[in-house]
Each structure stands twice: as C-alpha cells, then as structure tokens.
C-alpha cells in the first residue's frame, strides 16, 4: 500500500460519523479534483474554487447517490492542497461505496489526523493551532470550546511569535558581539538585556501558570463530595445532576467506591465525585473505598465537605485538617440538614476561612446557591486575556524555557560572556519553537496526529 503521509498522494476519508442524515467525504491532494471528476456526473477540471456542484456519483452505470460536490483550490483550502468535499446521504452503505470507488480511482485512505497534518506541513496552521483543532472537536463545555477556539485562531501563536521575535533580536545582538570579541564591544546593554529577559521569563511563567486552570477547564473541574457516612453525599450528588445516580440509604457505609457524574454550569464542566464516607472501619472493602476516597480528594480542585450533625468547631477543624488539602485546592463547607440544628454560629466561625453554605440535600434547598458558588470559585482563576495553556506538551516546554531564561538572567547578572548567555537564549528559542512547530520531529508529529479522528 502507498504511504498516505506522502504529500504527493491524494487521500480520502469520511469526515462525519455514522448515524447522521448527511455524510461528508473529503479528498485532498494533487489528484483530488481529477479523481472526483471520474465518478461525478459533471465536469470539474475547470471549475473555480469555492463552488458547489449538484449531480450524481456513479460506479459505471450504477448510480450510488445524488450529492453536492464542493471544490477548494490550492492553496486556499484547509490543507493548502486541492480539496474536494462530497456531501452525500448519511447511509453507512453509501459512504463505504463512495470511499471504495474513490480509492479504486487512485485515492489513498487517510490516516488519523492526516488532513490537519498536511495543513501544518503546508503552512496553513502552526502546530499549536493544529492541536487546537483536536481540542475543539473534543470540547464538551463552553470553557473548553473558548480555549480551543482562541488557540486555533492564532491568539496563543501570536503571543509566542512576539516572544520569539524579541529573543531573536537579543541573540542577534549577543552573537554580533562575538564577531567583535577582540575589540571588547557590547551591542546589548546589559541592564536593558536583563530587563528584557526578565519580562519574557515572567510571561512564560504566567502562561505556564495558566496550565492548571486550562487543564481543569478542558477536562472538567473535579469536585469531591466528602464527609462522614450518612452525611448526605449521595443525596447531594443526585440533586446536583438531577437524577438518581447514586444509591441513597440510611445504612452507614453504603457507598464503598466513588461514583462520578458530570454537569455543565455556565459553560464550565464539573465532574462530581461521590466518595465513600470517611470513618474508621474494620470492613476491608469499605476501608479500600476510603483509601480511594483520599486519593480522589488529593486530585480534586474543589472539595465539598458535608457536615450533617451539630459538632463543636474544634471537631470540624479536625475534619478539615484530616483532608490534608494543598494550597491550590479549595474547600466549600456545607452544613446539611441545617433545619435540624442552629448553624449560625458555626457559619460565622468558618466564613473567613472558606465559603460556607447551609443546604438541605434531600429537599434541594440551597443547591442552586451551591451551583452559583461553584461557578464563582472557578471563574476567579480565568485570566482576563484568555490566553490559557491546556496542553501538557506546551506546559512542559514553557517550564523548560523559563528555566533557561533564569540561567540567562543569572549569567547577565554575573557578567558571563556573550556566548554563554546566547546559548541559553537559543535554548529558549528551541523550547518555544517546539510548541508552534518551528522545531519538531516525525515522532512528535506522529504522536500528536495519531490522537485525531480519521477525516480531520
């Protein structure tokens, strides 16, 4: 079989999944229009780009379907090559027959992500934009959609391009000094150089620092619902998601493993985890569930601690301490079944340390206020400029770039020679270049595009 990653081939694939009323089949490559013309009822060779043609697709005398054929001419297409998109009826039989026909006439089945890979190789997208295409397709919330769309449209790439331009200017001045090393000339003022490097370093750190928020918004905010047995955790989960997802029982220890359900609020996806009740137990299975609960708590961004009985403040404080929360985790203290006991003094006691809310999980009282509090807790983390890193590969590259900038800044402060400082700046350029694709390898590209769907 021909290697479909060769840009001299013409690739074909269905771009839509089964089950819809309409299916879309794509062709891209030097023979895309010629191959389509062989099976289509109307001439296409001289048709201009951005035109749509109605006709039939036939295998010899056998008509397969009435279709719309849309032409895109190089280089004004998604891939930068000649492209054809065939809109046919959504029958899986029709889709298979048309694809088989195109392949018999010279097309090659596309590999995963090959259309977008060609768009990158032909300069239509940089690598960060190409990765954003996959994120856009996979987005399950408004927040994830906004991050991916902004990245795909080049907002993130423009920021990195600006940083790289400044770094290239710096390194050119430093390397110019090397040409005049015998004359002891400084083309780059060292105080100004240190200021510029510090500014760029701080911007790289800020972008890397947005990864926690970006990763959470992309994959959903993990929210652990914790408390003692019979605190009302399962009841609260059911109220939040609007269905009887978790078993509710008066028997302590009913929940022995975590249950996870998702809910999108104001475009933000929350992943609620109903956990096993926290207590000492000799039951091996329940104890295992409690260990898993602790592990889930450590990986959650928000913790909802339910208290459903009148307790002295010292005992509530001990329960909070036992959660062993990190500085970047947020706690919301919920007093459940609060109609049975006075929570006013406890609310006053803890309100300065964390958000406190009285609810009645069984009746739903206070649940809407809790949803508003969850949204508010996440929205405070979203940067105003909306340049948010949600890709682990980009995050790691930004960390490496920041470390190289730290070394460059320290080198300037210590009066190191221009060649040593320049080497660190070149390292920064390398790491930033791996994000946008100026510097890459076939292994990196293969790993990235293998995660795409066929036909994109």
pLDDT, tens digit (0-9, with 9 covering 90-100), for 160-184: 888 888 888 888 877 776 655 555 5
Residue 3 lies in a domain: no
Structural domain ending residue among the three candidates 124, 159, 185 = 124
Model-level pTM?
0.75
CB 55 within 8 A of CB 42: yes
Across the chain, mean pLDDT equals: 84
Task: CATH number of the domain at 400, please.
Answer: 1.20.120.430
pLDDT at 348: 84
CA 373 to CA 238: how far, in whole Å? 18
Please return the burial class of 456, using the count of CB atoms within 10 Å of its CB with bins 0-12, 13-18 and 19+. Answer: buried
**How many residues comprise the chain?**
456
Residue 402 lies in a domain: yes
The DSSP string of 207-255 is HHHTHHHHHHHHH-EEEEEEESTTSSHHHHHHHHHTS--S---SSTT--
The DSSP string of 94-146 is HHHHHHHHHHHTT-EEPPTTHHHHHHHHTTSS-HHHHHHHHHHHH--SHHHHH
Residue 453 lies in a domain: no
CB 64 within 8 A of CB 96: no
pLDDT at 256: 41
Task: CATH number of the domain at 76, please.
Answer: 3.30.1360.120
CA 444 to CA 441: how far, in whole Å? 5
H or E element at residue 43: none
| 3-class SS of residue 168 | helix
| E-only strand ranges, 29-115 | 51-59, 62-72, 83-89, 108-109
Looking at the structure, do residues 264 and 327 belong to the same domain, yes or no? yes
pLDDT at 116: 93
Looking at the structure, do residues 15 and 101 belong to the same domain, yes or no? yes
Each residue of 48-76: pLDDT tens digit? Answer: 999 999 999 999 999 999 999 999 999 89
Structural domain ending residue among the three candidates 355, 379, 403 = 379
Looking at the structure, do residues 250 and 334 belong to the same domain, yes or no? yes
Residue 456 lies in a domain: no
pLDDT at 3: 41
CA count, 13 A, side-chain hemisphere, 14: 21
Looking at the structure, do residues 60 and 110 belong to the same domain, yes or no? yes
Residue 170 lies in a domain: yes
Looking at the structure, do residues 286 and 204 belong to the same domain, yes or no? no
Residue 444 lies in a domain: no
Residue 113 lies in a domain: yes
H or E element at residue 9: none
Looking at the structure, do residues 115 and 237 belong to the same domain, yes or no? no
What tokens were used for 265? 């609020």
Looking at the structure, do residues 280 and 364 belong to the same domain, yes or no? yes
Structural domain ending residue among the three candidates 353, 379, 405 = 379
Q: Which residue positions in the chain have pLDDT lower than 70?
A: 1-7, 177-188, 243-258, 276-293, 379-386
Looking at the structure, do residues 170 and 106 belong to the same domain, yes or no? no
Looking at the structure, do residues 148 and 186 belong to the same domain, yes or no? yes
Task: CATH number of the domain at 286, please.
Answer: 3.40.50.300
Looking at the structure, do residues 249 and 297 belong to the same domain, yes or no? yes
Residue 83 lies in a domain: yes
CA 143 to CA 135: how far, in whole Å? 12
Looking at the structure, do residues 71 and 40 belong to the same domain, yes or no? yes
The DSSP string of 338-362 is GGGS--HHHHHHHTTTS-EEEEBTT
Number of structural domains found in the chain? 3
pLDDT at 289: 59
H or E element at residue 259: strand 259-265
Each residue of 199-240: pLDDT tens digit? Answer: 999 999 999 988 888 888 888 889 988 888 777 888 888 888
Note down the domain range covering 158.
Answer: 133-210+389-437
For residue 328, whether the previous peptide bond is cis, meaning omega lies within 30 degrees of 0, is no
Looking at the structure, do residues 417 and 371 belong to the same domain, yes or no? no
pLDDT at 88: 97
């Amino acid at each position: 079989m021909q290697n479909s990653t060769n840009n001299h081939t013409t690739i074909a694939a269905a771009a839509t999944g089964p089950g819809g009323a309409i299916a879309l089949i794509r062709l891209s490559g030097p023979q895309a229009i010629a191959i389509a013309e062989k099976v289509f009822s109307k001439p296409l060779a001289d048709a201009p780009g951005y035109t749509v043609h109605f006709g039939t697709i036939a295998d010899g005398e056998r008509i397969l379907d009435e279709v719309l054929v849309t032409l895109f001419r190089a280089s004004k297409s998604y891939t930068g090559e000649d492209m054809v998109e065939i809109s046919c009826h959504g029958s899986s039989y029709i889709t298979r027959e048309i694809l088989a026909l195109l392949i018999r006439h010279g097309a090659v089945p596309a590999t995963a992500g090959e259309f977008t890979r060609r768009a990158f190789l032909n300069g239509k997208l940089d690598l960060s934009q190409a990765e954003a295409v996959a994120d856009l397709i996979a987005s399950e919330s408004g927040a994830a959609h906004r991050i991916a769309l902004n990245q795909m449209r080049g907002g993130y790439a423009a920021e990195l391009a600006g940083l790289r331009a400044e770094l290239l200017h710096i390194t050119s001045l430093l390397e110019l000094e090397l040409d005049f090393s015998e004359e002891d000339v400084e083309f780059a003022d060292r105080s100004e150089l240190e200021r510029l490097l510090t500014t760029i370093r701080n911007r790289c750190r800020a972008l890397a620092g947005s990864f926690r928020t970006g990763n959470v918004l992309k994959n959903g905010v993990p929210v652990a619902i914790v408390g003692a047995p019979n605190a009302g955790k399962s009841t609260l989960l059911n109220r939040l998601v609007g269905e009887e997802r978790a078993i509710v029982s008066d028997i302590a220890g009913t929940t022995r493993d975590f249950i996870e359900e998702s809910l999108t609020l104001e475009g933000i996806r929350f992943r609620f985890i109903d956990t096993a009740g926290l207590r000492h137990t000799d039951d091996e299975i329940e104890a295992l569930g409690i260990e898993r609960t602790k592990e889930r708590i450590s990986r959650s961004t928000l913790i909802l601690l339910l208290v459903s009985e009148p307790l002295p403040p010292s005992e509530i404080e001990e329960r909070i301490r036992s959660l062993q929360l990190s500085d970047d985790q947020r706690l919301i203290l919920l007093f459940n079944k609060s109609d049975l006991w006075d929570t006013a003094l406890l609310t006053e006691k803890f309100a300065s340390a964390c958000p406190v809310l009285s609810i009645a999980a069984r009746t739903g009282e206070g649940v809407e206020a809790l949803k508003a509090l969850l949204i508010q807790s996440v929205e405070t983390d979203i940067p105003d400029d909306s340049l948010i890193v949600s890709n682990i590969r980009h995050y790691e590259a930004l960390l490496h770039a920041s470390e190289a900038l730290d070394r460059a800044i320290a080198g300037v402060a210590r009066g190191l020679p221009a060649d040593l400082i320049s080497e660190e700046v070149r390292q920064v350029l390398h790491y930033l270049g791996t994000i946008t694709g100026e510097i890459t390898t076939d292994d990196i590209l293969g790993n990235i595009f293998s995660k795409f769907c066929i036909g994109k």
